[in-house]
């Protein structure tokens, strides 16, 4: 009981610690690929510390919702990230929220973020919120189709059970899992506001979605929102790793050696994920906003196809 | 026992309806009527809850009313107890709300008697145990709600709304009449007990299903028979809108469940496919229509259509499982659908109450004339936010629970052997997921444009908070949203007797599960704990806030909005409801609504302003209703000639009819 | 039965269907040619794998033909022809990308239903591979029907033919597979040459795409 609680607590701290590191690594690799030096890998930690210490400048007509939002968004994202197996599958509270609930928690974070964009009553916030809900209206169904595919293959919607079953060799390589992986990568790119869907480093009105919604935030509020965005990226990479590359995950009730191996392999997977993401973002240009629905529509179709294949035949 | 209590409450409500006109002119009429209605509803709710939770045996009573050889049968079993509970809860909350809201009514006598009659009618439909009583109560409910829709008949669109409503309601009742006629059988026994005992031919049962889908479905709001809903629901006073959207549509669902699950016996293999397909299409189209609206109440009414689609998806799945003998899965799907019935009546009621509060405070229903109300009406804004979050299926509130259970039911359906279902169910699952995501978008728009931002008109700038009674009703529903989200196990257990009686199976007992989670199928398969998720979120949020405020900084100052350095003083530059919906309109609306944007740019030198026009077509109205209205008008025109005949010609018509009837009689013998 | 052989064959067949969908999604000609080259490459891999697990070495020849001819020669040739003749490089569609994908889904569903109902006693690997192959054929046809550009219609035809080859190699013991694939390849070569000879002839009338391009306004 105590060890289980310790593992769950360690997971919660680990995701919080690794998230800015992941963002820093992605930025560094992108810069190096563009033949720049790039900021140091630990720079996001310094940025968060600096923002936390600064005074918040609030618009005159911002409401209580605007002030409470960053904490709501952070809470939802942190709870979701704590329930995705990173180094071990035996998370104590994994039965309290399955994969559908985790996606819905991320959905609530997005709901409140979109409201924050509308709160101050500027046109930038409106642009961000309206585009964000358009992207979400297709990304969320695609994600749910992926959940269905995985649940039909594994026989459960609990993430820990899924990771456990996929770790054992009884599943093998399946078409539906391949389609689900591609669909998940497309959805992850859209949900984390990466190129080609959105540019995380821009402040041009025509090209921003996520940045537009948080334009009015400053100080500790902005720090929390940046941290939530990093946590979300970590969550998606962990999800892909635990579902499609589950090797190295420690079983429930394992000894400290297995846990250490789990943490090391997790760090490795994060590094690989960051590298791949950086390569991908540098190699591709951003899409027009109205090509994004086609992109996500394709992801939805792939997820639907994968689910359909599993409904039709158990071995696909 | 429960039957007598429920019938006495109905009798009190009917007496209230009859006595209300006697109090004309007295300012105490409104509080008296609504308080009595509140007490009657609370009593009936508690009685129904006691019956449901205590899993009592069905009780029935026959009164010597109505047709002399039939009498009026009334019965309370698990299903009617559940719906009685939903009706009573909604009615009680609406009466509480109206104690405050009703004070602003200009012509109370147009509302009060019909309000109690409406409540009585809804209760009677749920209690009815024979076809005649059912139909009479159904018509009574329709007519009293029609009178309420026409309460503000001088406003421009309300008369049209009332007319469409009357036509659709009559059409629905006709369909139900035909359905009951087919069900009654050879010896003409109309009591439900007799109908249940009879074995119906499959072709007949199929025809009855289609008729019930038309009759009950049009009252509930299934596509394409939903057209009256977004016209009539906003036209009525707000507490009545809440009742019509939140409760009357559920009474229609009750009619469907009672006839299809209870009276028709074993379902055929294709029934579920029709219900699932209709449910899926209704869900997506409903929310797409809602996204195009900028009238707050019309948006909420269209959104009811979406939720009815979700309920019918659950019911369709239950039918599919029942047809193939999978009682356990059928119980899961049915519980998901019925739990959504309860959840929707709660949060839709809450949202309509909020819309009513906004209407009294500002006099506006159009979102594009509102804005910034979170500063003027903070409490209303808070409960409206809870309602928006609940309806968008965000954990830990109740909307998520019923949607989660529906998804679990969909995940059980690969076991169904039918090929059609193997393709239909994943498609319906995708439609359900799509409608859930679009619903969140819709309510970000509704809350954001109405309550957030800056006030767009002086009416919005000068709004005042609503009165205590309205706030009490809204807070009650908001609390119920949270409780149903955190402790769903109790609600699922309460629904077990209903599932047992209708599909012969039940979900696992939830009350023993540790930590108050819910386990719909098996522990190893899936579970959800709303309480833990809620506590987790609260703890992490407060921990973060506390840590940051102590360790980092808690300083704050106010300044003008940043807006990238170009702040605009005019509130007209912020996003409107239409502009918020533009990306979605462009993605989905071009196909579904033939939405087109046209820009008229005058040539340089011309002083006229440029004009942007957005055209949105309601394809269902254009394709289905407009032609029918055209034909009816054409036929009516032709038949009009009968008005202008001479006396001799009228006599010859009568003579011809008589001769033809005699000929028919002669030939037939 | 359930093992690596099963899974890899299915994975390759499924990738072929995925690539057919990706072809439907493209709106630029060079990207379409790249995806088609990938399509032919995956077909070659799939045929080679079938040759390995069925122990039928004549299928290696088919795989080689697919690799050399369809993955390398034809895309390069088409690429050069496009540049030389100045063919319109954006693909106009009759139906939009969204509806085309939905139609594609429907066609895949149709082929699944058909194949799995019509062959209940056959070997599961062969049945499902046939279902995928029929999907690829139908998607290739869909592409031909919904595109206005000649090159994309030819690509659609070639991916249709890839589906047929997949079906032929999936069914164990089909005779004359190598001969059929050679015949198809010659047919394609003639079609490609024929279409572009026709286009070259047309060019001497005034249907010069470059001229049209200059006057084309903004397309939404």
pLDDT given for residue C149 in this prediction: 75
Distance CA B290, CA B155 (A): 23
Identify the closest residue of chain A to C128 by CA–CA distance: A316
Record: contact B423-C117, CB cut-off 8 A: no
All residue ranges of chain A with pLDDT < 50 are none
Question: Which of A178, A293, A313 is facing C128, going by the closest CB pair?
Answer: A313
The enclosing H or E element of A56 equals strand A56-59
Q: Are strands B59-63 and B611-615 parallel, antiparallel or unpaired?
A: unpaired
pLDDT given for residue B311 in this prediction: 96
Dihedral angle at the C-alpha atoms of B365, B367, B368, B374, nearest 10 degrees?
120
Distance CA B43, CA B33 (A): 16
pLDDT tier at C184 (50, 70, 90 boundaries)?
confident
pLDDT digits (tens, 9 = 90+) for A45-91: 999 999 999 999 999 889 999 999 999 999 999 999 999 988 888 78
Which of the residues B444, B570, B597 would you substitute to probe the A interface, choosing the one with the greatest number of A C-beta atoms within 10 Å? B444
pLDDT tier at C97 (50, 70, 90 boundaries)?
confident
Name the least confident of B217-221, B262-266, B367-371. B262-266
Chains in contact with A, counting 3 or more C-beta pairs less than 8 Å apart as contact: B, C
Chains in contact with B, counting 3 or more C-beta pairs less than 8 Å apart as contact: A, C
CB atoms within 10 A of CB B217: 28
Closest CA–CA distance from residue C107 to any residue of chain B (Å)? 12
| Average of per-residue pLDDT values in chain A | 90
| ipTM reported for the complex, 2 dp | 0.94
Distance CA B383, CA B363 (A): 20
Distance CA A232, CA A209 (A): 16
Kindly state whether A31 is in contact with chain C, defined as any CB-CB distance less than 8 angstroms: no
CB atoms within 10 A of CB C72: 13
Among positive and negative, which fits the CA dihedral A34, A37, A42, A45?
negative
pLDDT given for residue C177 in this prediction: 74
Name the least confident of B371-380, B538-547, B552-561, C195-204. C195-204
Which of the residues C3, C13, C14 would you substitute to probe the A interface, choosing the one with the greatest number of A C-beta atoms within 10 Å? C14
Distance CA B131, CA B181 (A): 9
Q: Quick check: C202 pLDDT over 70?
A: no
Cα→Cα distances B31→B101, B105, B484, B669, Å: 10, 12, 30, 65
Closest CA–CA distance from residue B588 to any residue of chain A (Å)? 10
Q: Are strands B556-559 and A56-59 parallel, antiparallel or unpaired?
A: parallel
Q: How many residues does chain B have?
A: 669
CB atoms within 10 A of CB B207: 15
Residue bearing the bigger pLDDT, B200 or B241: B241
Q: Quick check: B522 pLDDT over 60?
A: yes
Kindly state whether C117 is in contact with chain B, defined as any CB-CB distance less than 8 angstroms: yes
Do C38 and C19 form a contact (C-beta atoms < 8 A)?
Answer: yes
Q: Quick check: C104 pLDDT over 50?
A: yes
Which of the residues A172, A181, A290 would you substitute to probe the C interface, choosing the one with the greatest number of C C-beta atoms within 10 Å? A172
Query: And the tokens for B629?
Result: 């209205």
pLDDT given for residue B626 in this prediction: 92
pLDDT given for residue A273 in this prediction: 94
Structural domain containing residue A258: 2-312
Q: Quick check: B516 pLDDT over 80?
A: no
pLDDT digits (tens, 9 = 90+) for B364-378: 889 999 988 999 999
Q: Bridge partners of B74?
A: B61, B128
Distance CA B399, CA B377 (A): 25
The residue extents of the domains of chain C are 2-215
Record: contact A309-C112, CB cut-off 8 A: yes
Interface B:C, Cβ pairs < 8 A: 6
Enter the pTM of the model: 0.90
Kindly state whether C106 is in contact with chain B, defined as any CB-CB distance less than 8 angstroms: no
Chains in contact with C, counting 3 or more C-beta pairs less than 8 Å apart as contact: A, B
Q: Quick check: B669 pLDDT over 80?
A: no
Number of domains in chain A: 1
Q: Are strands B611-615 and B72-76 parallel, antiparallel or unpaired?
A: unpaired
Q: Quick check: C211 pLDDT over 60?
A: no
Distance CA B301, CA B111 (A): 20
């Amino acid at each position: 009981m105590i060890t289980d609680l310790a593992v769950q607590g360690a997971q919660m701290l680990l995701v919080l610690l690794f998230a800015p590191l992941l963002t820093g690594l992605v930025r560094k690799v992108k810069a190096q690929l563009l033949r720049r030096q790039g900021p140091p890998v630990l720079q996001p930690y310094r940025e968060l510390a600096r923002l936390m210490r600064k005074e918040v400048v609030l618009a005159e007509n911002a409401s209580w919702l605007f002030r409470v939002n960053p904490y709501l968004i952070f809470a939802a994202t942190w709870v979701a990230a704590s329930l995705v197996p990173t180094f071990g599958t035996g998370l104590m509270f994994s039965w309290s929220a399955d994969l559908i609930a985790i996606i819905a928690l991320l959905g609530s974070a997005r709901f409140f973020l979109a409201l924050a964009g509308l709160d101050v009553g500027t046109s930038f916030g409106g642009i961000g919120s309206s585009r964000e809900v358009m992207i979400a209206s297709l990304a969320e169904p695609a994600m749910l189709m992926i959940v269905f595919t995985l649940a039909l293959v594994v026989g459960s919607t609990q993430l820990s059970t899924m990771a456990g079953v996929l770790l054992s060799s009884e599943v093998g390589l399946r078409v539906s899992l391949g389609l689900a992986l591609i669909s998940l990568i497309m959805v992850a790119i859209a949900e984390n506001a990466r190129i080609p869907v959105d540019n995380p480093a821009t402040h041009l009105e025509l090209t921003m979605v996520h940045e537009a919604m948080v334009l009015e935030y400053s100080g500790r509020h902005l720090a929390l929102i940046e941290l939530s965005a990093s946590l979300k990226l970590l969550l998606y990479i962990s999800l892909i790793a635990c579902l499609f590359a589950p090797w190295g995950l420690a079983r429930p009730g394992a000894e400290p050696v297995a846990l250490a191996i789990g943490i090391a392999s997790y760090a490795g997977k994060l590094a690989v994920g960051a590298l791949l993401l950086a390569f991908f973002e540098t190699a591709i240009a951003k899409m027009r906003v109205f090509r994004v629905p086609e992109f996500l529509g394709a992801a939805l179709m792939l997820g639907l196809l994968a689910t359909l294949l599993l409904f039709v035949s158990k071995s696909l | 026992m429960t039957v007598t209590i429920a019938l006495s409450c109905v009798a009190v409500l009917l007496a209230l309806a009859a006595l209300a006109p006697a109090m004309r002119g007295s300012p105490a009429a409104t509080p008296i009527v609504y308080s009595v209605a509140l007490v009657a509803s609370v009593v009936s709710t508690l009685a129904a809850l006691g019956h449901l939770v205590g899993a009592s045996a069905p009780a029935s009573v026959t009164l010597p009313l109505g047709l002399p050889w039939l009498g009026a049968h009334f019965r309370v079993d698990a299903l009617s107890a559940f719906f009685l509970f939903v009706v009573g809860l909604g009615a009680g909350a609406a009466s509480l709300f109206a104690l405050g809201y009703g004070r602003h009514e200009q012509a109370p006598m147009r509302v009060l008697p019909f309000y109690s009659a409406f409540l009585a009618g809804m209760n009677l439909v749920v209690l009815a145990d024979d076809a005649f009583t059912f139909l009479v109560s159904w018509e009574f409910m329709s007519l009293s709600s029609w009178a309420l829709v026409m309460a503000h008949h001088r406003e421009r669109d309300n008369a049209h709304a009332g007319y469409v409503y009357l036509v659709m309601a009559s059409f629905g009742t006709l369909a139900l009449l035909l359905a009951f006629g087919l069900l009654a059988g050879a010896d003409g026994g109309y009591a439900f007990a007799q109908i249940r005992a009879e074995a119906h031919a499959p072709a007949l049962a199929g025809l009855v299903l289609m008729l019930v889908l038309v009759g009950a479905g049009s009252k509930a709001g299934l596509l394409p028979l939903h057209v009256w809903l977004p016209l009539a629901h906003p036209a009525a006073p707000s507490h009545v809108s809440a009742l019509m959207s939140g409760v009357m549509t559920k009474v229609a669902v009750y009619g469907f469940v009672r006839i299809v699950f209870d009276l028709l016996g074993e379902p055929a293999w294709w029934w579920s496919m029709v219900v699932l397909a209709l449910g899926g299409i209704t869900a997506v189209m409903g929310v797409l229509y809602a996204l195009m609206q900028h009238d707050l109440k019309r948006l909420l009414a269209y959104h009811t259509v979406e939720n009815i689609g979700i309920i019918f998806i659950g019911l369709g799945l239950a039918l599919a499982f029942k047809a193939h003998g999978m009682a356990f899965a059928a119980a899961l799907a049915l519980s998901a659908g019925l739990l959504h019935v309860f959840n929707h009546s709660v949060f839709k009621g809450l949202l309509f109450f909020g819309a009513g509060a906004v209407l009294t405070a500002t006099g506006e229903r159009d979102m594009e004339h509102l804005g910034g109300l979170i500063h003027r009406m903070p409490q209303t804004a808070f409960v409206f936010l809870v309602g928006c979050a609940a309806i968008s299926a965000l954990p830990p509130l109740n909307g998520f629970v019923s949607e989660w259970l529906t998804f679990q039911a969909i995940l059980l359906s690969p076991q169904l052997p039918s090929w059609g279902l193997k393709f239909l169910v994943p498609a319906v699952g995708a439609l359900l997921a799509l409608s859930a995501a679009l619903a969140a978008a819709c309510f970000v728009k509704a809350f954001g444009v109405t309550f957030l931002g800056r006030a767009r008109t002086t009416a919005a700038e000068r709004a005042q908070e609503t009165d205590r009674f309205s706030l009490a009703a809204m807070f009650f529903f908001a609390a119920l949203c949270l409780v149903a989200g955190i402790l769903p196990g109790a609600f699922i257990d309460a629904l077990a007797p209903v599932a047992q009686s209708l599909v012969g199976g039940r979900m696992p007992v939830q009350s023993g599960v540790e930590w108050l989670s819910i386990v719909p199928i098996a522990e190893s398969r899936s579970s959800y704990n709303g309480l833990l998720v809620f506590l987790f979120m609260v703890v992490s949020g407060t921990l973060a806030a506390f840590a940051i405020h102590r360790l980092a900084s808690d300083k704050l100052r106010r300044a003008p909005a940043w807006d990238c350095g170009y702040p605009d003083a005019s509130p007209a530059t912020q996003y409107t409801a239409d502009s918020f919906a533009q990306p979605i309109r462009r993605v989905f609306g071009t196909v579904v609504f033939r939405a087109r944007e046209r820009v008229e740019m005058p040539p340089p030198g011309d002083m006229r302003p440029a004009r942007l026009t957005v055209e949105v077509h309601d394809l269902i109205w254009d394709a289905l209703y407009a032609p029918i209205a055209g034909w009816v008008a054409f036929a009516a025109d032709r038949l009009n000639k009968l008005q202008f005949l001479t006396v001799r010609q009228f006599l010859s018509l009568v003579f011809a009819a008589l001769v033809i009837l005699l000929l028919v009689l002669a030939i037939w013998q | 039965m359930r093992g690596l052989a099963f899974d890899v064959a299915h994975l390759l067949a499924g990738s072929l269907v995925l690539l057919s969908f990706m072809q439907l999604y493209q709106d630029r000609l060079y990207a379409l040619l790249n995806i088609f080259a990938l399509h032919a490459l995956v077909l070659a891999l799939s045929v080679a794998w079938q040759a390995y697990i069925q122990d039928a070495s004549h299928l290696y020849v088919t795989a080689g033909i697919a690799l050399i001819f369809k993955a390398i020669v034809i895309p390069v040739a088409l690429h050069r022809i496009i540049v030389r003749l100045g063919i319109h490089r954006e693909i106009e569609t009759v139906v939009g990308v969204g509806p085309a994908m939905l139609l594609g889904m429907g066609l895949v569903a149709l082929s699944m239903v058909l194949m799995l109902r019509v062959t209940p006693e056959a070997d599961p690997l062969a049945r499902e591979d046939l279902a995928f192959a029929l999907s690829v054929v139908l998607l290739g046809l869909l592409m031909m029907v919904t595109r206005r550009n000649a090159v994309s219609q030819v690509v659609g035809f070639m991916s249709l033919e890839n589906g047929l080859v997949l079906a032929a190699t999936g069914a164990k013991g089909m005779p004359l597979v190598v001969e059929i694939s050679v015949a198809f390849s010659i047919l394609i070569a003639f079609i490609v040459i024929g279409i572009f000879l026709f286009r070259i002839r047309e060019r001497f009338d005034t249907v010069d795409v470059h001229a049209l391009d200059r006057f084309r306004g903004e397309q939404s």
